[in-house]
Chain A
């Protein structure tokens, strides 16, 4: 049952990415690049998502467990270390070059456009790299 629920949640998440046009790299790059073509839409995408999520976190603070589950599965990480900074900077590099982040990258697989498929394969390869090191 949970898998059916999270399928529909993924579907709504994906529709949100499509309606907000975050699946269009030009939209993101025109936000990141200042000039005549500056497009501030991304700020409103973040604002819309953040307001809803703030209400959700407020709700979470009032209850001990989710509706279908035993506990809230939240990260215990608190430290701000070099790994976090380097990781975020690398992500910013890739995002700034391409204008596409992981969610829209997955949605765009459906377009069948080979460039997006190549990007997705490279993302998975990048995710696998730290494993090679830890397995040594």
Chain B
């Protein structure tokens, strides 16, 4: 489905993502990588990991608040057959685990730190995603 170019909300939203990542780093010394945070769900509950769970709860709460107070902002659906949703999800889960990060960890936090690993990872996943998306559409 077509979407409109939304420069203002894109910049504001991006700045909020950056502010949250900056706060996590400067206040607690942690890097905001959502795939890494989700890995905590597999680990025994320790105080060292509990911040990751509360971060995830915060993410879901943002979705709940938007769903209740501004449902027009929670648009979006996966227009895919179920088997393809499963394939995509498995690839995302396995890929972020092997590659130690996703769009937040490598893309936002790593690239801004000028990490060579993160630049390579981001370029690889962007190129593959562009090829795949154009092939499918």
Contact A72 B25 (CB under 8 A): yes
**A24 to B9, alpha carbons, bound, how many Å?**
13
A14 contact from B9, B28, B62, Cβ within 8 A: B62
**How many chain B residues have a CB neighbour from A under 8 Å?**
109
Q: Which residues of chain A are near B26, meaning CB under 8 Å?
A: 56, 59-60, 66-67
Q: Is the CB of B74 within 8 A of A23?
A: yes
How many cross-chain pairs have Cβ atoms below 8 Å apart between A and B?
470
Among residues of A, the one whose C-beta sits closest to the C-beta of B51 is A6
* B window 58-99: CB within 8 A of A: 58-67, 73-80, 82, 84-99
Categorize the interface residue count of chain A.
35 or more
Q: A2–B51 contact, CB under 8 A?
A: yes
What distance in Å separates the Cβ of B85 from its nearest Cβ neighbour in chain A?
Answer: 5
B31-A75 in contact (CB<8A): yes
Given A69-B29, A92-B132, A110 contacting B55 (CB threshold 8 A) = no
Cross-chain contact of A118 among B4, B89, B131 (Cβ < 8 A): B89
Selected contact of A21 from candidates B9, B65, B125, B126, CB within 8 Å: B9
* A47 / chain B contacts, CB cutoff of 8 Å: 11, 14
From B38, B56, B66, A18 is in contact (CB under 8 Å) with B66
Return chain A residues, CB-CB under 8 Å to B29. Answer: 65-66, 69-74
Interfacial residues, chain A to chain B (CB-CB below 8 A): 2-27, 29-30, 32-35, 37, 39-57, 59-60, 65-75, 77-80, 83-103, 105-113, 115-116, 118-131
B residues bordering A, Cβ < 8 Å? 1-7, 9-32, 34-35, 38-39, 41-42, 50-67, 73-80, 82, 84-100, 102-104, 106-109, 111-113, 116-117, 120-122, 124-134, 136-137
10 intermolecular pairs with C-beta atoms under 8 Å apart: A15-B66, A17-B13, A20-B10, A21-B76, A45-B13, A77-B117, A89-B124, A106-B34, A107-B60, A107-B63
Q: Top 3 A-B pairs ranked by shortest CB distance? A: A126-B93, A10-B58, A20-B13
